[in-house]
Amino acid sequence: MSTKTGEGFSSSFGAIMAAAGSAVGLGNVWRFPYICGKYGGGAFLLVYVIFVLFIGMVLMMSEFVIGRRTGEDPMKAYTALKPHHPGWKYVGLAGLLTCFLILAIYLVISGWTLNYFWESLSGTLAGIADTGFEAHFNQFASSAGRPVLFIAIFLFLTALVIVGGVDKGIERVSKLLMPILVVLLMALCVRSMTLEGASAGLSYLFKPDFSKLTGEGVLAALGQALFSLSVGMGVMIVYGSYLPKDDNLLKTSLWITLCDFAIAIFAGIAIFPAVFACGQDPTGGPGLVYQVLPVVFNSMGTVGRLFSIIFFLLLSLAALTSAISLLEALTQWLSGDRIGRTASAIVMSLIVIILAAAASFSFGDGILSGVKIGGMQLFDLLDKLTGTILPPVCALLTIVFFGWFMNKEDIIDELSNHGTVKIGYFKVFYHFLVRIVAPLALIVVLVTGIIGN
Ligand code: PHE
């Protein structure tokens, strides 16, 4: 129990499951496979692994240190560490704002996923002809009522867990759902790999093609590494504030990172061999999951329906544990000394669902699709802000604070659990990665990203 409010994870295992639950989400199952295939398979993977280990994991450890050291929400944490420089709290605020925007768009996609889970169960998807899925998706996602209904159901489930509390809600649910998720994913992998013609999918995913690894691909790899590990926007400061005091922060970060990476790879193995075996187009991009996979499932006959249910359940569960961490960050911040956890979760949910509904209405041919902000529909704007711009900006500010402004002795003390854990890696971690490599890489990505636009 490490926070000021006395809330916290009850064990290191529970903490790892909760943080891995945050990391493993739509980013792994929905996004990773298609961008990995798009930017050169093995070539992309190589760059991605480097970013994950040397930037993503470094940020995660840094956020854990900030969170556990202070036991505060992201805004108060910066103030607690730098009481005479109140400006730093705006870094925490920027992170929370990013969480809010991510949650809004995340809810839209989670709502789609939940709807597809329902349509797999009820048999609706099984009744659609192969050529009809694109129209089906567009018509559904652009309609007004149904997507919002599923957003509301999904948000209700998320808030329910938050209201349960950190250990009795978040930790308990994560300990239950993460193993289920792994089992479901393994079942899909086995099915996909044993289909005839599956190997073409594996080589699409893994065979390095350096000609496809463009500058844009490198940027995508970094953005994906941050998004997938849930780092940069303060969520891991929040979870860090709940970590047990004797938890080994290096080990915990390493486990979460490995878990997140492995699940992304297995998601690719579950999807591409099946897509190739059925002769479908692997470059379906964001629509792959909703427009191409249903065709694949339908071609498998009756068992296909079962695999469709398994897949959309898996995706819904993965999204749920990530949405929980985003709503928790906002709830912890709002509750503070002001209002209780339940009231604060309800208020935050009511505010975020307005933005999520607006984003949903702006999608495709929706009723708000004519409204443009900076020339973009709201959904696309949110997607761009949360996918490529805000996380690297917040990550850069966080790592600069950690490496250049936070007291080094405090960091050593926290990472070593007051001298009880060996931290021989500290020199490389701090002097090389935290102070130089991570900030420089983030600056390069941001500058090229901005120029490239
Ligand atoms: N890591 C999550 C995913 O891969 C998304 C997320 C980002 C969750 C930031 C929390 C904070 O889907």
pLDDT digits (tens, 9 = 90+) for 309-320: 988 999 999 999
Residue 18 has pLDDT above 80, yes or no: yes
Q: Which of 293, 282, 300 is nearest to 113 (CA)?
A: 293
Q: Whose CA is closest to atom 7 on ligand 1?
A: 230
What domains can be seen in the chain, in order of their start residue? 12-452 (1.10.4160.10)
Lowest mean pLDDT of 40-49, 156-165, 291-300, 338-347, name the range: 291-300
* Span from the CA of 299 to the centroid of ligand 1 (angstroms): 32
| Residue 453 to residue 448: CA distance in whole angstroms | 9
| Residue 31 to residue 319: CA distance in whole angstroms | 12
pLDDT at 275: 84
Angle between helices 341-362 and 89-122 (to 10 degrees): 70
Residue 262 has pLDDT above 70, yes or no: yes
Average pLDDT rounded to a whole number, residues 134-163: 94
- Secondary structure E strands in 244-350: none
Q: Is 230 in the pocket of ligand 1 (CB under 6 A)?
A: yes
| Residue 412 to residue 401: CA distance in whole angstroms | 15
Q: Whose CA is closest to atom 11 on ligand 1?
A: 230
Q: Is 223 in the pocket of ligand 1 (CB under 6 A)?
A: no
* Span from the CA of 226 to the centroid of ligand 1 (angstroms): 8
pLDDT in tens, 184-197: 889 888 888 888 88
- 169 Cβ neighbours under 8 A, 6+ residues apart: 160, 161, 162, 163
98, 228, 257: which to mutate for ligand 1, most atoms within 8 A of CB? 228
pLDDT in tens, 393-409: 999 999 999 999 998 89
pLDDT at 5: 57
**pLDDT band of 38, cuts 50, 70, 90:** confident
State the virtual CA torsion across 379, 19, 446, 440 in degrees, nearest 10. 180
Q: Is 101 in the pocket of ligand 1 (CB under 6 A)?
A: no
Q: Is 30 in the pocket of ligand 1 (CB under 6 A)?
A: no
pLDDT at 113: 95
Please check whether residue 17 is in contact with residue 180, taking contact to mean a CB–CB distance below 8 angstroms: no
* Span from the CA of 228 to the centroid of ligand 1 (angstroms): 5
* Span from the CA of 229 to the centroid of ligand 1 (angstroms): 6
Residue 15 has pLDDT above 80, yes or no: yes
170, 230, 266: which to mutate for ligand 1, most atoms within 8 A of CB? 230
* Span from the CA of 193 to the centroid of ligand 1 (angstroms): 27
Q: Is 267 in the pocket of ligand 1 (CB under 6 A)?
A: no
pLDDT at 449: 67
Give 143's Cβ-side CA count (13 Å radius).
Answer: 15
pLDDT in tens, 428-440: 888 889 999 999 9
Q: Is 311 exposed, middle or buried (0-12, 13-18, 19+ CB in 10 A)?
A: buried
Q: Is 151 in the pocket of ligand 1 (CB under 6 A)?
A: no
Q: Is 348 in the pocket of ligand 1 (CB under 6 A)?
A: no
pLDDT in tens, 284-336: 677 788 888 888 888 887 888 888 998 899 999 999 999 999 999 999 999 87
Q: Is 345 in the pocket of ligand 1 (CB under 6 A)?
A: no
* Span from the CA of 56 to the centroid of ligand 1 (angstroms): 12
233, 261, 265, 325: which to mutate for ligand 1, most atoms within 8 A of CB? 325
Distances from the Cα of 139 to the Cαs of 62, 135, 153, 286, in angstroms?
44, 6, 20, 16
Please check whether residue 109 is in contact with residue 26, taking contact to mean a CB–CB distance below 8 angstroms: yes
Residue 2 has pLDDT above 70, yes or no: no
Q: Is 105 in the pocket of ligand 1 (CB under 6 A)?
A: no
